[in-house]
Structure 1
Amino acid sequence: MPANPKYLTQSIWQRIAKITAAILGGYLVSVSFHLALASWINHVNVIITMAFSGFILWVVLMIVAFLAKNGWKIWGIYLLLTLIFCGIIYLGQTYNPITR
């Protein structure tokens, strides 16, 4: 059964924004989230766990990107989350350096 056209995105730019936000933005958020965790918690365990939980988080973020009405807002939210997680990574490396 085909989709109802009134629920499909009409603008090509919105489609491109949603697709790129789903693939690239979701990947950036999931990787930066796990690296932020790794900067504060035992990094070996987090990186090993990231092989599974990172993929699950990425798929969830892809679904969220396609459920949104505006692709540019999703890009903004994903970039903001990535920047917040990068700040947490920076603070984690500054105040909790890994001793080797």
Structure 2
Amino acid sequence: MPANPKYLTPAFWPRFSKITAAILGSYLVTVSFHQMLISWLDREDMLITMAYSGFIVWVALMIVTFIAKSGWKMWALYLLLTAIFAGLTYAGISYDA
């Protein structure tokens, strides 16, 4: 049974933004989140945890991206989260040193 055409996005840029936000944006958020955890918690334990939870978080964020209405808003949210996690990573490294 084919998909209902009213739910499909015919334009290129909205579809492109959703796909890239799902793949690249969610990956950036996942990696920056786990780097933040590594900078604040025990490195060895977090590396083992990241091997399993990283994939789960990445896939969950991909699903959230495709549920959202706008890919550009998801890009903005993902870049904001990445910047916040990067700042907390920097703070964790500075605090540890």
Q: Quote how far apart the aligned CAs of 1:45 are.
A: 0.7
Alpha-carbon distance in structure 1 between the residues aligned to 2:3 and 2:46: 40
Alpha-carbon distance in structure 2 between the residues aligned to 1:74 and 1:2: 27
What is the aligned partner in structure 2 of residue 39 from structure 1? 39
How far does the alpha carbon of each residue in 1:20-75 deviate from its partner, in whole angstroms, 9 at most, with x for none? 00000010000000000010000111111111100000000100111111110000
1:59 and 2:78 are equivalent in the alignment: no
What is the aligned partner in structure 1 of residue 85 from structure 2? 85
Q: Give the gaps of 5 or more residues in structure 2.
A: none
Alpha-carbon distance in structure 2 between the residues aligned to 1:96 and 1:2: 56
Work out the percentage of aligned pairs sharing the same amino acid: 63
Alpha-carbon distance in structure 2 between the residues aligned to 1:18 and 1:24: 10
What is the aligned partner in structure 2 of residue 21 from structure 1? 21
1:30 and 2:30 are equivalent in the alignment: yes
Alpha-carbon distance in structure 1 between the residues aligned to 2:4 and 2:58: 27
Q: TM-score, normalised by structure 1?
A: 0.93
The ranges of structure 1 where at least 4 consecutive aligned residues each deviate by more than 3 angstroms after the TM superposition are none
Q: Quote how far apart the aligned CAs of 1:96 are.
A: 1.7
Q: Give the gaps of 5 or more residues in structure 1.
A: none
Q: Quote how far apart the aligned CAs of 1:86 are.
A: 0.1
Alpha-carbon distance in structure 1 between the residues aligned to 2:17 and 2:83: 19
Aligned length: 97
Aligned pairs (5 A) from 1:66-77 = 66-77=66-77
